[in-house]
Amino acid sequence: MKNVQKPEKIHLGKLIEEIRKGRFVIPDFQREFDWQPWDVRDLVKSIFMDYYIGTLLLWEGNKENYRKLGCASLYAFNSESDPEYIVLDGQQRLSALHYAFFQPDINFRNRKNPIYFFIRLKELLDENYEEAFFYYSRTKYYDELVSDVNKQYENHIFPLGVMQQGSWGIDDWIKGYRDYWNDQAESEDIIEKKAELEALAAAAIEIRHIFSDLLNNYQISYISLAKELPLNKVCDIFTHINSKGKPLDTFDLLNSITRKEDIYLKDMYREASKSIDDLSYPGFEMKTQILMVMSILKQNYCSPKYLYYLVPGEKKKVKNKEGQNEEVVLINSNTEFIDLWNTAVDAIDKSLNSLKNQREFGAITAKFLPYPSIIPCLSAIKHFVKNSDLKNKVDIHSKIKKWYWASIFLNRYSSSVESTSTKDFMDLKKWFNNDDLELDAVSEFIGTYKNIDLHKETRNGSAIYKAIFNLFILNEARDWETFELPEYDNLDDHHIVPKSWGKEMGLGQDINTILNKAPLSGDTNRKVIRDSLPNVYIKNMFTNNDEEKVYKVLKSHLISKKAVEILLRENFSVDDYKEFIAERKNTIINAIYNMVINETVELPEDLNKINNDIENLELKFRELLIDNLDLTNRHTLKENLPGDIYDKLNQKINRERKRNPNLVETNIEDASYWMQFSDLQELQRLTTSKAYWPRFEDMFVNKERLTSEFNDVANLRNALRHSREVDTITRMKGEASLLWFKQQLK
């Protein structure tokens, strides 16, 4: 088009003033404002984070065109308008800014009440943008907060409605904030407290700078079509632009940028979604996740600003080995881009299959997936391991699982997903090569898992709630009617003690805790449980079936025999319910340790006996070394052990210190405590070392024979730890070695 469009920019302060004057109107053929409150919040957050929010497409209007197109004001605009532009693309963004900044006394679209939008100033100053911006539906409390400026100052809450007053009004509010905390400081006698209050007052300067910079320097780009452009041409333009009414996300931007490279991302995503958006996980838009996986694999980082370096030929500044900046191109051609895209799609597909696997992660369907946001990092790290030459892949997959469960139970992927994914990907690779570089999150989880407050997990949408359900699936929770594994695609979370009973007893949300839930099919719930108490339906299960089989089925749901006895009590009371909940919590906490942390495999009785024999051998050998090497305390341990073995034990102790600091500090001087961290290989090295072999030669006679027997026991131990099946040769040689050790140790 020639001479009909004018690319321009407008700063935020001016845009707010133009919105206040009613300069923007919406043509009738545009759909209604349909954003959700969180969309509005995220738009405001993007502006404060200095992100691009898309280009507005406007048409200079006149009275005739306003009439022909049936133009109306932005949603909730209730003042007299003075229109200047018809909005062709951007009405959702402009309506969102109007609603957030002008705080109209009109219900938010499809809501019963108006909604207020706020900023937590402390979080804003800390650049914790995920927590800084929030909204709330009108209540008495928030009405008072919006009308009481001192309450705003006291709580460090800035109502976005102040923005409509422009720079003067915002400055007055910030000055009031400063004066409020100065007054508090003047009336405070305690020196430390006074300093804190003065610091709050001083923070007003930085707050003012943030808002001043935002109003004057944040630029919104727009294209203004000349009013002379014919109406039919404008309508044709509108039907051809990608006007979905939301800010362009990274995928949309890259889709536009890469077209010149003959890369058609939307078509590629449609094809990819046939495999990764399958029947088990419907509704997840993986397009951004694919780009994140590509970016992690190519450059470790995956935040939006790094995704642009995936464009073929795009140059990125990096530091070389000498610490100098240099420019590199990550992707040289469209073929390379497409290959990386296909790699990422395949990685996500395999990751989803792992998540759904009933023996790996147990997130069988979308509603049982704790955090979709963890998928990019999980996909990237599993792909990295698969294509690496790392030798210890059994241990590596165990580490991945520990990281995954630690992230879920610590709610690490609820916010700051890009930075968390980046850090985890890099830290996991280091941990794979060095056991002593265990992730802090894993150490924290192992040290605190017993404190998880499962009683409060009553919301079936929470990550921890879903994670417990995943454990039920991994534990092969069986149907309560057929005693077989259920159809997992038709599974619900049903109350063990009925919800109706809980309501009758006034238990409130306590009846909905995950500790009172079991994964059952709807049919079983109707046929077995219905609305009866456990002392009725579980009693019927025992009446109609073999007792041990019933206990086994209930155990698969992490319901212990003690818990069953409680549930079967006559005149079942609230106290009985609380006792059952406490007992089931203990069972589930133990299951978290055995299934997630220690990855204990429930062995057949014969193999379990062998495993116990190996544990006893390790204990006896440690005692033997402690006695023969005069290891009485930490000092003698350091004197008598080879330096590398002492250092290795010290590294293990330090790792344990992150998990259980009090326990370590209590036992740190005890040599026997240190020796608990020695493994079979280290025990063998100490016994056969040149310095100490003379002390054991009479007992074991031949050093080479002792080494061989140690190796056979170690092979059997590793097989028992990592596999449900132990091959015959490994078992026979290991058992023979155990017998040999018993004879020698007599």
Please give the torsion angle defined by the CA atoms of residues 571, 575, 576 and 581, in that order, rounded to the nearest 10 degrees: 150
Contact 265, 255 (CB under 8 A): yes
Cβ neighbours for 274, distance < 8 A, ≥ 6 positions apart: none
Q: Is residue 728 part of a domain?
A: yes
Contact 114, 161 (CB under 8 A): no
- 494 and 427 in one domain? no
Q: Is residue 724 part of a domain?
A: yes
Q: Is residue 310 part of a domain?
A: yes
End position of a domain, from candidates 597, 618, 637: 597
- 572 and 446 in one domain? no
Provide DSSP, 450-484: GG--GGG---TTSHHHHHHHHHHHHTTPPPTTT-S
- 695 and 556 in one domain? no
Contact 173, 210 (CB under 8 A): no
Cβ neighbours for 278, distance < 8 A, ≥ 6 positions apart: 352
The predicted model scores a pTM of: 0.61
CB atoms within 10 A of CB 399: 19
Local structure of residue 33 (DSSP, 8 states): P
Q: By three-state DSSP, how is residue 692 classified?
A: coil
E strands present in 219-333: 219-225, 315-319, 325-329
Mean pLDDT by 10 residues, the chain (746 residues): 64 96 85 89 94 91 80 91 91 95 93 94 92 93 94 96 94 96 92 92 94 94 85 58 47 69 85 71 76 93 82 82 84 94 94 90 88 93 93 84 95 88 94 87 90 91 92 91 80 88 93 93 74 91 93 95 95 95 95 83 75 88 88 88 86 79 84 87 88 89 90 85 72 91 85
- 406 and 468 in one domain? no
Tokens of 718: 């590793």
Distances (CA, A) of 96 to 55, 104, 112, 327, 607: 15, 11, 18, 40, 65
- 476 and 460 in one domain? yes
CB atoms within 10 A of CB 256: 12
Cβ neighbours for 160, distance < 8 A, ≥ 6 positions apart: 44, 100, 101, 103, 116, 117, 118, 119
**Which contiguous run of DSSP H or E holds residue 11?**
strand 5-11
- The predicted structure's pLDDT at residue 231: 60
Q: Fill in the amino acid letter for 542.
A: F
- The predicted structure's pLDDT at residue 721: 67
End position of a domain, from candidates 554, 572, 597: 597
- The predicted structure's pLDDT at residue 244: 43
- The predicted structure's pLDDT at residue 245: 39
Q: Specify whether the backbone of 243 is left (phi greater than 0), alpha (psi in -120 to 50) or beta.
A: beta
Contact 249, 29 (CB under 8 A): no
End position of a domain, from candidates 575, 597, 619: 597
**Which contiguous run of DSSP H or E holds residue 10?**
strand 5-11
- 512 and 486 in one domain? yes
- 661 and 643 in one domain? yes
Q: Is residue 238 part of a domain?
A: no
Contact 455, 585 (CB under 8 A): yes
- 300 and 425 in one domain? yes
Tokens of 31: 């759909």
Q: Which of 580, 558, 583, 584 lies closest to 501 in space, CA to CA?
A: 580
Provide DSSP, 53-85: ---EEEEE--HHHHHHTT-EESTT--S-----E
Nearest 5°: phi and psi at 650?
Answer: -65, -40
Contact 467, 475 (CB under 8 A): no
Q: Is residue 241 part of a domain?
A: no
Cβ neighbours for 709, distance < 8 A, ≥ 6 positions apart: 737, 740, 741
Provide DSSP, 519-567: EE-HHHIIIIITT--HHHHHHHHHHHS-HHHHHHHHHHTT--HHHHHHH
Q: Which of 380, 388, 302 lies closest to 344 in space, CA to CA?
A: 380
Q: Is residue 479 part of a domain?
A: yes
Q: Is residue 655 part of a domain?
A: yes
Q: Which of 31, 26, 19 lies closest to 103 in space, CA to CA?
A: 19
- 407 and 472 in one domain? no
- The predicted structure's pLDDT at residue 242: 43
Domain tally for the chain?
Answer: 4
Q: Which domain holds residue 111?
A: 5-220
- 576 and 673 in one domain? no
Nearest 5°: phi and psi at 69?
Answer: -90, 5
- The predicted structure's pLDDT at residue 283: 60
83-100 CB burial, b ≥16 within 10 A, e <16: bbbbbbbbbbbbbbbbbb
Q: Is residue 242 part of a domain?
A: no
Angle of helix 91-102 relative to helix 12-20, nearest 10 degrees, comes to 80
- The predicted structure's pLDDT at residue 233: 65
- The predicted structure's pLDDT at residue 235: 55
- 464 and 427 in one domain? no
- 462 and 446 in one domain? no
